[in-house]
Amino acid sequence: MKKQHAVWLVAAGLLSALSAGSRVAAAENDGNAAATDPRPGLATELSATGPHPSLGDQAEVVGRLVGTWDVEYNTFAKDGKVTRRTGEFIVGWVMDGRALQILWIVNPSGTRKDREVYTNVHWLDPKSKAWRSAFVDPEHGSVARFTGGPVGQDRFVLETQDFGSELSRWSANDIRPDSLVWRDDASSDGGKTWRLQAEYQMKRRGAAPAAQ
> pLDDT for 122-141, tens place per residue?
999 999 999 999 999 999 99
d(CA 23, CA 85): 26
Burial class (CB in 10 A: 0-12, 13-18, 19+), 31: exposed
Write the CA distances from 15 to 20, 75, 176, 208, integer angstroms. Answer: 9, 24, 27, 31
> pLDDT for 42-59, tens place per residue?
888 999 999 999 999 999
For residue 212, the model assigns a pLDDT of 55
For residue 10, the model assigns a pLDDT of 43
Residue 4 has pLDDT above 70, yes or no: no
SS3 31: coil
What type of residue sits at position 170?
Answer: W
For residues 155-170, average pLDDT? 95
Q: Taking a C-beta distance cutoff of 8 angstroms, is the pair 72, 56 a contact?
A: no
Q: Residue 35 — very low, low, confident or very high, per pLDDT cuts 50/70/90? A: low
Taking residue 186's Cβ as centre, other Cβ atoms within 10 Å add up to 17
Please name the residues in contact with 96: beta carbons below 8 A apart, sequence gap of 6 or more.
48, 52
Please name the residues in contact with 32: beta carbons below 8 A apart, sequence gap of 6 or more.
none
Residue 22 has pLDDT above 60, yes or no: no
Residue 67 has pLDDT above 50, yes or no: yes
Count how many residues are written for the chain: 212
Residue 207 has pLDDT above 60, yes or no: yes
Burial class (CB in 10 A: 0-12, 13-18, 19+), 136: buried
Element (H, E) at 147: strand 142-150
Share of the chain above pLDDT 90, in %: 73
Residue 200 has pLDDT above 80, yes or no: yes
Burial class (CB in 10 A: 0-12, 13-18, 19+), 133: buried
